[in-house]
A = this chain, B = another copy of it.
Amino acid sequence: MRRPTRHVSVKDVAARSGVSFQTTSKVLNGGGSVSDATRARILQAASDLGYVPNLQARSLVMQRTRTVGLIAGDFSDPGLSRSLAGAEQEARRQGYGLLLTSIEPEGSGTEYALPAMMERRVDGILLAAPQMEEDTALSHVLDPTLPVVSLNHIAGRSVSTVCADDEQAGYIATHHLLQGGHRVVGVLTGIRGLRLTQSRQLGYRKALEEAGVESANDLVEEAGTDVAGGLAGLPRLLERRPDVSAVFCHHDLVAVGALTALRAIGKRVPEDCSVAGCDGLDSAAYTTPPLTTVHVPFYEIGAEAMRLLLKMVAGGSPTGAKVVVPVQLIARASTASPPGRGGSARGPARRAR
C-alpha cells in the first residue's frame, strides 16, 4: 500500500534548471516570454528527468479535463462496438481521453455510470445505450450545463442525437422486396419500444402503403436483436401466416437466425422465401445465402457523434441538434422474386460486396 515513487513535477524540473517553477510552466506550455537560453535549459532538464505533466492538477485549475465519458450498452453488439471505435478514434484525434462505462442490460446507468463520470468531471458525455431511452430519471439527474450527445432518443430534456436514417432503412429494405414482386411481407422487429424499432417499422409500413399492399398486424413479430430471436421468431410468424414469401428483419443477426430456421423447416432461400436484414454487418456477406441488408455506417455515426460532442464542449454548441446519417441497400442472394413469378428482386443497390 506504499505510495508509488513520486512523479517528477515542474518544481523538480525548475530546481534542476535553476529557475522558478512558474517560469518552467511557461516554457512547457509554450507561452510567455522567456530567453532562449533558459528555455533550452528547462527543456533539457525536463527531458533529462522524464517530466510528464499532470493533467489532474491542470484540470483542477483549468476547470476542464479534456476527457469525455462514454456510457455504452452491451459492446458485444457489433454495431455498438463499431460506433465505439469511431467515437474513440475521433476523441483521440482531438486529444481527448475517453472514460468508458457500460451499463448492464437491466441497469439504469443513473446509479453508477453517471455519478462516476460526474465525479471525474468529464467535459461531456456520449450516450450509446439503447436501454437508457426509457430512463426518465436520466434527464433529471443530468447536469443541464454538461454537453451530452446520444445515439439513441432520450426522453425529456432535448439532447443532441446522431443516428442513422432508420425509417429510410426500413423503407428501402421493404421496397426492395416489394419491387421483386412480393405481396405478403412479414417483419421480425427489434426490441419493442425503442426509437430504432419504431423508425424501421415506420419505413416498413410506409413502403407497404405506397405499394398498396396489406399491412396486417399478424405479419409483425417481435424478435429482438440476436440470432436466437430470429430462430424463435420466424416459426411463430410462419405459423400465423404460412403465406409470407418474404421477411424483413430489423437486425442482421435476427436474419441469420431466420435463415437457419427456414433451412430447418426445409424452406429454401430465396426460392421459397426471401430474407432481408438490416444493419450491414460484415458477417452478413458470408451467410448462406449471402444476406441482402441495409448498410448502417456505425463507425461514422460514432465519429460524428463525438465530433458534435466536442464541438459542444468547445463552446460552439448547437445543442439539441439532430443529425441523421444516410443508409444504403446492399442487395445479395437472399432475396429474389416470390415462387411462381419471373424477374429478379434485385433493387437499385448502390453498393455490394
Complex partner residue of A52 from B4, B74, B100, B119, CB under 8 angstroms: B119
- In the bound complex, do residue B121 and residue A5 qualify as a contact, i.e. CB atoms below 8 Å apart? no
Q: Report B-chain residues with C-beta under 8 Å of the C-beta of A121.
A: 7, 54-56
The answer to the question of A99 belonging to the interface, with a C-beta cut-off of 8 Å to chain B, is yes
- In the bound complex, do residue B227 and residue A256 qualify as a contact, i.e. CB atoms below 8 Å apart? no
Q: Report B-chain residues with C-beta under 8 Å of the C-beta of A260.
A: 286
- In the bound complex, do residue B92 and residue A82 qualify as a contact, i.e. CB atoms below 8 Å apart? no
Interface positions, chain A 261-302, Cβ under 8 Å from B, are 263, 282-283, 285-288
A53 and B119 CA atoms in complex are apart in Å by 6
| Contact code string A43-72 (vs B, CB < 8 Å = 1, else 0) | 000000000111111011001110100100
Given known A81-B81, A263-B288, contact A120–B97 (CB-CB < 8 A) = yes
Q: Report B-chain residues with C-beta under 8 Å of the C-beta of A7.
A: 121
A115 and B98 CA atoms in complex are apart in Å by 14
Complex partner residue of A282 from B67, B92, B227, CB under 8 angstroms: B227
Given known A65-B56, A120-B56, A256-B286, contact A112–B92 (CB-CB < 8 A) = yes
Residues of A within 8 A of B (CB-CB), count: 59
| Contact code string A90-125 (vs B, CB < 8 Å = 1, else 0) | 001000011111100000000010011011110000
Interface of A, helix, strand, loop or mixed by DSSP = mixed
Copies of this chain, tallied across the complex: 2
The answer to the question of A1 belonging to the interface, with a C-beta cut-off of 8 Å to chain B, is yes
The answer to the question of A224 belonging to the interface, with a C-beta cut-off of 8 Å to chain B, is no
Additional A-B contact list (14), CB under 8 Å, known A2-B315, A257-B286: A4-B145, A56-B65, A70-B100, A75-B81, A75-B84, A76-B81, A88-B100, A92-B102, A97-B101, A98-B99, A227-B282, A227-B283, A227-B286, A260-B286
**A–B pairs, 30, beta carbons within 8 Å:** A1-B314, A1-B315, A2-B315, A4-B145, A4-B146, A52-B115, A52-B119, A54-B60, A54-B121, A55-B120, A55-B121, A56-B56, A57-B60, A60-B60, A74-B85, A75-B84, A76-B82, A76-B85, A85-B102, A88-B102, A89-B102, A92-B101, A92-B112, A97-B101, A97-B120, A227-B283, A256-B283, A256-B286, A283-B283, A288-B288
